[in-house]
């Protein structure tokens, strides 16, 4: 959904430290052994967690009903109905699929509506693209709704993945080996894709040579309907739809890209409400980011090596804390400070925070929220899940922080405290971080 920051995913431990510390050396030696699977570290999270704009989250055992007006959840105290206008996200305990090797014809189809559908390429024609999704079934997607097609196996094998974000002046075809050319898509075939070159010559490209296709025309970008929902599925697909309903344990919606969505609720990681009432911080560039790692890297720019990750953990995995996957948030390493300009246009800030489940058991940090430079919340020491000792395990919920009249919001992560200052496995997550709109607000800068 969001672009990754420049540079490769940080995945190393610096070999040179500022000063000689025996305790630090012991901790570093334990680092590799400290990682454990989320299943080993957590009791099962609630089957359903409904994040709301007013009050505390609603936790339950199952989703009873869902439509364009409200949802109903089975809780320990009985059934609870929540108006859809008050819902931010419906989180489930469903984990994402484990990584596996893609097939030669497996694709991710990116749509102008913000959706992304994974499945097997099945050809099509000049008007539609056919995809066989294991979770959504057979789909025929209008070509005018398609922003691009990624052939996942060849993308994973590329020595230098192509830039698929920059806008071009025509359709762009990326080939295995790194070559690319400009052309205009003519038709999707079963074994090849046909283009028209800049000199109007026909160009037939076999599927096995294609890495990605990026299409130009955004004029037909689908408009999201009122009360649209965005559902993240366990295979990495993301679908958007209006007219939502729950029937026979299946989520059903109508995509603005022209096809019906029907998937088993058991395959859904989370469902978000697309609403102007709030904004995810991970969708907005901060006005300033400062990275001061406790350890100096041997080489390279710390601002790049320790760059925050949007909607991913610091190591590039899905955000996961307390056994639950969070779709939106920021993955950072300790020593990171991020600031947004608000211009007094937002009412409230909300977040949860914790050490990412995939980091290991040695992490420990302190989260701070500052408003106009003054501390509004301090988490105290937050330790890794499954570890023992003082402090709390994540996710730790930050109480709603008032932004009335505020000009800046700053999120800081400190490398522990005086009793535990060592930055070992400090992969910290700001989870579901968002700002609530106060009337007609502009997006944070």
Q: Over the stretch 122-136, which tens digit does the pLDDT of each residue have?
A: 999 999 999 999 999
Element (H, E) at 25: helix 22-31
Q: Over the stretch 254-271, which tens digit does the pLDDT of each residue have?
A: 999 999 999 999 999 999
Between residues 24 and 346, the one the model is more confident about:
346
How high is the pLDDT of residue 223? 66
Reported as a pLDDT band with limits 50, 70 and 90, residue 218 is low
pLDDT > 70: percent of the chain: 86
Across residues 398-416, what is the average pLDDT?
Answer: 95
Domain regions of the chain by residue span = 22-41+279-437, 48-83, 106-214
Across residues 125-152, what is the average pLDDT?
Answer: 96
* Residue in the structure block whose two tokens are 């789909």: 139
Q: 161: how many CB neighbours lie within 10 A of its CB? A: 14
For the cut 50, the answer to whether the pLDDT of residue 10 exceeds it is no
How high is the pLDDT of residue 76? 94
How high is the pLDDT of residue 198? 87
- Residues 6+ away with beta carbon under 8 Å from 170: 182, 183, 184, 198, 216
Q: Are 341 and 444 in contact (CB under 8 A)?
A: yes
- The strand ranges marked E within 145-267 are 146-151, 171-175, 180-188, 192-196, 202-206, 210-214, 229-233, 238-247, 250-254, 260-264
Q: Are 110 and 116 in contact (CB under 8 A)?
A: yes
DSSP string of 136-178, one letter each residue:
TEEEEEEGGGEEEEEEHHHHHH-SS----SS--SSEEEEETTS
How high is the pLDDT of residue 26? 32
Lowest mean pLDDT among 176-180, 244-248, 302-306, 316-320: 302-306
How high is the pLDDT of residue 445? 53
For the cut 90, the answer to whether the pLDDT of residue 330 exceeds it is yes
How high is the pLDDT of residue 226? 67
- CA separation for the pair 425, 218 (Å, rounded): 42
For the cut 80, the answer to whether the pLDDT of residue 217 exceeds it is no
- HSE on the CB side for 105, CA within 13 Å? 15
Q: Over the stretch 356-398, which tens digit does the pLDDT of each residue have?
A: 999 988 899 999 999 999 999 999 999 988 888 889 999 999 9
Sign of CA dihedral 399, 404, 410, 414: negative
* Predicted TM-score of the model (pTM): 0.81
Q: Is 380 left (phi over 0), alpha (psi -120 to 50) or beta?
A: left
Q: Class assignment of domain 22-41+279-437?
A: mainly beta
For the cut 60, the answer to whether the pLDDT of residue 6 exceeds it is no
- Residues 6+ away with beta carbon under 8 Å from 77: none
Q: Which of 252, 251, 280, 281 is nearest to 266 (CA)?
A: 251
């Amino acid at each position: 959904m969001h672009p990754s920051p420049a540079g490769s995913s940080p995945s190393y431990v610096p070999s040179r430290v500022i000063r000689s510390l025996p305790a630090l050396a012991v901790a570093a030696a334990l680092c590799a052994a400290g990682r454990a699977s989320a299943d080993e570290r957590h009791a099962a999270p609630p089957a359903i967690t409904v994040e709301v704009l007013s009050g505390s989250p609603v936790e339950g055992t199952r989703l009873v009903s869902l439509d364009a007006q409200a949802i109903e959840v089975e809780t320990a105290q009985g059934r609870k109905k929540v108006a859809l206008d008050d819902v931010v996200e419906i989180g489930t305990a469903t984990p994402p699929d484990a990584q596996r090797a893609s097939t030669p014809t497996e694709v991710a189809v990116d749509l102008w509506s913000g959706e992304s559908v994974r499945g097997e390429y099945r050809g099509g024609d000049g008007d539609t693209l056919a995809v066989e999704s294991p979770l959504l079934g057979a789909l025929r997607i209008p070509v005018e709704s398609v922003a691009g097609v990624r052939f996942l196996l060849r993308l994973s094998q590329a020595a230098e993945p192509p830039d698929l974000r920059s806008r071009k002046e025509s359709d762009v075809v990326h080939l295995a080996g790194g070559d690319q050319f400009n052309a205009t898509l003519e038709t999707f075939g079963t074994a090849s894709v046909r283009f028209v070159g800049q000199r109007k010559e026909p160009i037939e490209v076999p599927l096995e040579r294609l890495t990605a296709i990026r299409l130009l025309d955004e004029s037909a970008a689908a408009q999201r309907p009122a009360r649209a929902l965005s559902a993240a599925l366990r295979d990495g697909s993301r679908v958007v739809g209006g007219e939502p309903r729950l029937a026979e344990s299946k989520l059903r919606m109508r995509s603005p890209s022209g096809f019906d969505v029907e998937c088993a609720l058991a395959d859904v990681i989370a469902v978000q409400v697309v609403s102007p009432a709030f904004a995810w911080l991970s969708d907005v560039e901060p006005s300033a980011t400062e990275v001061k790692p406790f350890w100096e890297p041997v080489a390279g720019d710390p601002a790049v090596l320790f760059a925050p990750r949007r909607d991913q953990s610091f190591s590039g995995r899905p955000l996961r804390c307390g056994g639950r996957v969070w779709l939106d948030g920021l993955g950072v390493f300790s020593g990171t400070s991020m600031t947004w300009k608000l211009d007094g246009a937002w009412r409230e800030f909300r977040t949860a925070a914790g050490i990412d489940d995939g980091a290991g058991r040695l992490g420990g940090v302190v989260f701070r929220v500052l408003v106009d430079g003054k501390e509004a919340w301090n988490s105290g020491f937050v330790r890794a899940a499954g570890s023992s000792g003082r402090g709390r395990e994540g996710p730790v919920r930050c109480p709603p922080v008032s932004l009335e009249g505020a000009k800046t919001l700053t999120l800081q992560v400190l490398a522990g405290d005086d009793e535990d200052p060592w930055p070992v496995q400090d992969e910290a997550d700001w989870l579901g971080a968002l700002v609530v709109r106060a009337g007609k607000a502009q997006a944070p800068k």
